[in-house]
Structure formats: structure tokens, C-alpha cells
């Protein structure tokens, strides 16, 4: 069940994604990528996943864009020209591979249950328990918070550790080394 609004946002996501890939000016590419995130957030919101939409808007459209722009000011604004073009045979093989993989994905999508289908496997496993007793058990009327921070608190702890480790790794890589231009 895809409402017309979802189609509209899907098209915007597609267009901004292609624009981000095609841009030779990296700053324009980053801005298009930010728009991609914003439209993806709107798509999530129109599908009813407000927590995901919130995260996508805050992380994808805001913070990531700022970090990308910072990197661009630090390095180059235009993409490096491609060294050499692929031959005709590899290009044809890649095209065939794309078409086959795309057809397989489309075939797979037709086998998925409809969005919001109450009889789909994912809706019948633990979801009824979360919906029926989540607010009463966790004290959190927002069931997403109840699941993320209480029922699945261990997973969220893992995510937080991953973020922290990623920050430490970036600090190790960026903190002590000289930029490539100085080493030459």
C-alpha cells in the first residue's frame, strides 16, 4: 500500500541521489546528498516511522553535511578526473550484471508482505507483545523508546559502543598524522 505522497518522496529521493552521484563539484554533491537525507526522512515520516525520520534528519541532513563540508574545505572541491575509461567489454559485463541483479531484486520485492500487513511474519513474532504490554511494562508510552532502551537495551548499548569506538578511531587517524600534502 503506497500512498501518492510516498511516491512523490520516493521520486525526490531518487532525483537527489542521482544528482549527488553525478555532481563534479563536490560541494554541490554534498548539498544534494543532504537533500537526499531530508527527503528520505520525509519518506520515513510519511510511512509512520517518526523516530527513524528524526534520526535521518538530524544525522543525515545536518551533522553529516557539516562534516562533509569541513572535509571539502580541508581538501579539494572538485572530484579528481577518472584516470581511464573502462573498455567496451567490461562496461557491457557491468551493465548485464546490473540488469540481472536489479531484476532479481524486483522479483524479491514482490514476495515481501505489504507495508503494515498485520499477518506478516515480522508483525506476528514479538511485536504483539510490545504493542499490548510495552507501555505498561516499561513505563514509556512511546513504544519505540520502550523497545530500544528497555527490551533491547543490550543492542542499544552495542550501538553506543560502536559510535564511541568510531570516534576514537577518527581521533587516532586524524589527530596525530600530517595531511598528505605535507608529507610529499
Partner 1 sequence: MKFRFGSPVLDTAVRLLTPFILLFAAYVVAHGHYSPGGGFQGGVILAAALILVNLVHGRDVRWGLRPSTSLSIAAAGLALYVGIGFLAIAFGGTFLDYGALPLGLPPPQVRAVGTFGIEVGVGMAVMGVMVLLFDALMAWEQSR
Provide the binding-site residues for partner 1, judged by CB under 8 A.
Answer: 50-51, 53-55, 58-59, 62-63, 66-67, 70-71, 73-74, 136-142, 144-146, 148-150, 153-154, 156-157, 160-161, 163-164, 166-168, 170-171, 174-175, 178-179, 181-182
Cell representation of residue 124: 506476528
Burial degree of 36 (CB within 10 A; 0-12, 13-18, 19+):
buried
When the beta carbons of 104 and 168 are compared against partner 1, the nearer one is: 168
When the beta carbons of 19 and 140 are compared against partner 1, the nearer one is: 140
When the beta carbons of 113 and 167 are compared against partner 1, the nearer one is: 167
25, β-bridge pairs: 78
> How far apart are CB 161 and partner 1 at their closest, in Å?
7
**Cα dihedral: 115, 118, 124, 128 (round 10):** 110
Alpha carbon distances (Å) from 76 to 67, 84, 103, 143, 171: 14, 20, 38, 45, 21
Let me know: does 36 contact 27? Beta carbons within 8 Å.
no
> How far apart are CB 145 and partner 1 at their closest, in Å?
5
Residue whose C-alpha cell is 557491457: 92
When the beta carbons of 89 and 136 are compared against partner 1, the nearer one is: 136
When the beta carbons of 29 and 146 are compared against partner 1, the nearer one is: 146
> How far apart are CB 141 and partner 1 at their closest, in Å?
5
User: How many angstroms separate the CA atoms of 137 and 150, rounded?
Assistant: 10
> How far apart are CB 72 and partner 1 at their closest, in Å?
10
Residue 78 phi, psi (nearest 5): -105, 145
User: How many angstroms separate the CA atoms of 61 and 20, rounded?
Assistant: 13
When the beta carbons of 12 and 52 are compared against partner 1, the nearer one is: 52
> How far apart are CB 156 and partner 1 at their closest, in Å?
7
> How far apart are CB 140 and partner 1 at their closest, in Å?
4
Amino acid at each position: 500500500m503506497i500512498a501518492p505522497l510516498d511516491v512523490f518522496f520516493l521520486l525526490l529521493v531518487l532525483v537527489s541521489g542521482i544528482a549527488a552521484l553525478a555532481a563534479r563539484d563536490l560541494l554541490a554533491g554534498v548539498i544534494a546528498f543532504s537533500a537526499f537525507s531530508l527527503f528520505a526522512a520525509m519518506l520515513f515520516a510519511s510511512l509512520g516511522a517518526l523516530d527513524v525520520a528524526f534520526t535521518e534528519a538530524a544525522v543525515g541532513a545536518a551533522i553529516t553535511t557539516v562534516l562533509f563540508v569541513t572535509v571539502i574545505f580541508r581538501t579539494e572541491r572538485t572530484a579528481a578526473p577518472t584516470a581511464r575509461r573502462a573498455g567496451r567489454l567490461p562496461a557491457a559485463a557491468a551493465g548485464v550484471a546490473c540488469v540481472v541483479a536489479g531484476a532479481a531484486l524486483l522479483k524479491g520485492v514482490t514476495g515481501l508482505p505489504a507495508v503494515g500487513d498485520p499477518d506478516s511474519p515480522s508483525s506476528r513474532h514479538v511485536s504483539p507483545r510490545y504493542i499490548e504490554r510495552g507501555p505498561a511494562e516499561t513505563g514509556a508510552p512511546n513504544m519505540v523508546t520502550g523497545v530500544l532502551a528497555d527490551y533491547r537495551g543490550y543492542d542499544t548499548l552495542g550501538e553506543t559502543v560502536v559510535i564511541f569506538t568510531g570516534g576514537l578511531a577518527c581521533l587516532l587517524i586524524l589527530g596525530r598524522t600530517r595531511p598528505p600534502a605535507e608529507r610529499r
